[in-house]
Amino acid sequence: MSDDLLLYVIIPLVKAIVVVTIVSIMAGVLTLFERRILARLQVRKGPNRVGWEGSLQWVADTIKLAFKEDIVPQEAEKVVFYLAPLMMIMPALAVYSIIPFGPEFSFFGIKTPVYAADLNIGILFLLAITSVGVYGLILAGWGSNSKYALLGGLRSAAQMISYEVPMGFAVASIIVMGQSLSLVSIIDKQKELGIWFIFPGLIAFFLYFLSGVAETNRTPFDLPEAESELVAGFHTEYSGFRWSFFFLSEYANMITVSAVATTLFFGGWLRPFPNIAFLSFLDLVPPVFWFILKVSFFMFVYIWFRGTFPRYRFDQLMALGWKVLIPISLGNLLLVALAALWGKTGLYVLGAGLTGLFVLGLILVERAKPPRVPFKSTPKTAEVTA
């Protein structure tokens, strides 16, 4: 009886609390990293006053947000306005129940894995739950009764729904390779096959990550909150703690996308080359560390994107999603399915082929880069006389 209590109540509860706490803290720390890294990219220093080198900046910001005045517009749909941030934050955090941070470990004699649950429908659950977040965006946009928020909400609805399709197809190709919906089995499968799925799933990875950036409304797809166009998009009218829910969920979603990309394409908690024996000294590093390292890399790419790219226009974004990404993702699914029919060899061949093509493409693009041509003036004789 007491075993059941421990196994089914206490451990899950503790895990849930720990995961939610850690994710919230991670999101906070991530904002600090983002600001510092962006500052590095932009020849400035970034926050460096609170704590050592600004390390407590995010704590100060959180406290500030919690105590800020909560402004509700007079004409807002009150219930919807109150509910929208919750509808965004809850799915963003709920997803973490299935993210596999690490394998089983022993803690005071209790053996337990470093994830809250290993759902047998893991990926479906993930796609379903993250989609619920769209309601938060739309309702926030509609409920604040502001035109800019409404435009932002509509943009986000269209964008997130469109980009879920290529994302789904990209994930489907991983399901074909991993022959399971459970995230943990997918990691095990990568260990069994001896390759990360990034190699045979190279196209799928790019599709997934691009759609992921679009799903989380980050540059260059940050149209729903495009500052220079829609002021702040769907959360224009929000302030204080409610606003911080949107903020937190955005960063939590970024971590989700990175964590899922790590799990599906980069072998999750596995060390590099998991089956090569002489690299086994790498096992001294705990698996959770590998996981966090890989996730951090994707977070960095997010921030890098933000420092580099301008923003797409709405119609261009939709054209990219429907006319480019979806056809590619369908073709890719077919390709991967054919390779998977051939078993392990098929995946190896596909992986080698794609990687080769990718490297070749990189070289060709680099070669074909036009040399910098100074802008030539082409004067037309002035028809206006002095």
Partner 1 sequence: MSSDRPTTPGTVAQVTEGGPPLLGLREMELNFGPQHPSTHGVLRLVLKVDGEKIVSARPDIGYLHRGTEKLFETETYPMVIPHTDRLDYVAAATNNHAYCLVVEKMLGLAVPKKAQYIRVLLDEMQRISSHLLWLATAAIDLGAITPFFYTFREREVILDLFEEYCGARLTLNCMRIGGLPVDLTEGWLDKLQVFTEDLENKYDEYEDLLTQNRIWKKRMVGVGVFTAEQCIEWGVTGPTLRAAGLAWDIRKAIPYECYAELDFEIPTGKNADTYDRYLVRMAELRQSRRIVLQCVDWLKKNPEGEIRAKVPRVMKPPAADGYAAVEAPKGELGFYLVSNGSNKPYRLHVRPPSFINLQALPEMACGHMVSDLVALIGTIDIVLGEVDR
Positions in the binding site for partner 1 (CB under 8 A):
38, 41-44, 147, 151, 155, 219-220, 222-223, 226-231, 306-316, 370, 372, 374-375, 377-384, 386
The pair of three-digit structure tokens given for residue 190, joined into one six-digit string: 């990568």
**Shorter beta-carbon distance to partner 1: residue 165 or 232:** 232
Q: CA-based Rg of the chain, rounded to a whole angstrom? A: 23
**Shorter beta-carbon distance to partner 1: residue 69 or 315:** 315
**Short-list 212, 31, 26, 24, CA closest to 133:** 212
Least separation, in Å, of the C-beta of 265 and partner 1?
25
**Shorter beta-carbon distance to partner 1: residue 295 or 303:** 303
- The neighbouring-strand residues paired with 114 are 102
d(CA 274, CA 182): 20
Non-local (6+) Cβ contacts of 224 within 8 A are 137, 141, 152, 153, 155, 156, 159, 217, 230, 233, 234
**Shorter beta-carbon distance to partner 1: residue 314 or 348:** 314
131: buried, middle or exposed (CB in 10 Å: 19+, 13-18, 0-12)? middle
**Shorter beta-carbon distance to partner 1: residue 168 or 321:** 321
Is residue 225 a contact partner of residue 153, using CB atoms and an 8 Å limit?
A: no
**Shorter beta-carbon distance to partner 1: residue 39 or 337:** 39
Amino acid making up residue 307: G
Least separation, in Å, of the C-beta of 232 and partner 1?
9
Q: Is 105 helix (H, G, I), strand (E, B) or coil?
A: strand
d(CA 202, CA 265): 8
Least separation, in Å, of the C-beta of 167 and partner 1?
20
**Shorter beta-carbon distance to partner 1: residue 43 or 284:** 43
Cα-Cα-Cα-Cα torsion 14, 20, 26, 32, nearest 10 degrees, comes to -130
Least separation, in Å, of the C-beta of 365 and partner 1?
12
**Shorter beta-carbon distance to partner 1: residue 106 or 378:** 378
The pair of three-digit structure tokens given for residue 368, joined into one six-digit string: 């074909």
**Shorter beta-carbon distance to partner 1: residue 241 or 314:** 314
Least separation, in Å, of the C-beta of 320 and partner 1?
10
Non-local (6+) Cβ contacts of 295 within 8 A are 255, 258, 259, 262
Least separation, in Å, of the C-beta of 369 and partner 1?
8
Give me the sign of the Cα torsion angle 248, 120, 331, 298. Answer: positive
Least separation, in Å, of the C-beta of 219 and partner 1?
6
Q: How many CB atoms lie within 10 A of CB 279?
A: 12
d(CA 298, CA 202): 15
Least separation, in Å, of the C-beta of 251 and partner 1?
18
**Shorter beta-carbon distance to partner 1: residue 273 or 300:** 300
Is residue 325 a contact partner of residue 166, using CB atoms and an 8 Å limit?
A: yes
Non-local (6+) Cβ contacts of 127 within 8 A are 164, 167, 168, 171
Least separation, in Å, of the C-beta of 222 and partner 1?
7
Least separation, in Å, of the C-beta of 328 and partner 1?
17
The pair of three-digit structure tokens given for residue 242, joined into one six-digit string: 């409610």
Non-local (6+) Cβ contacts of 279 within 8 A are 271, 272, 273
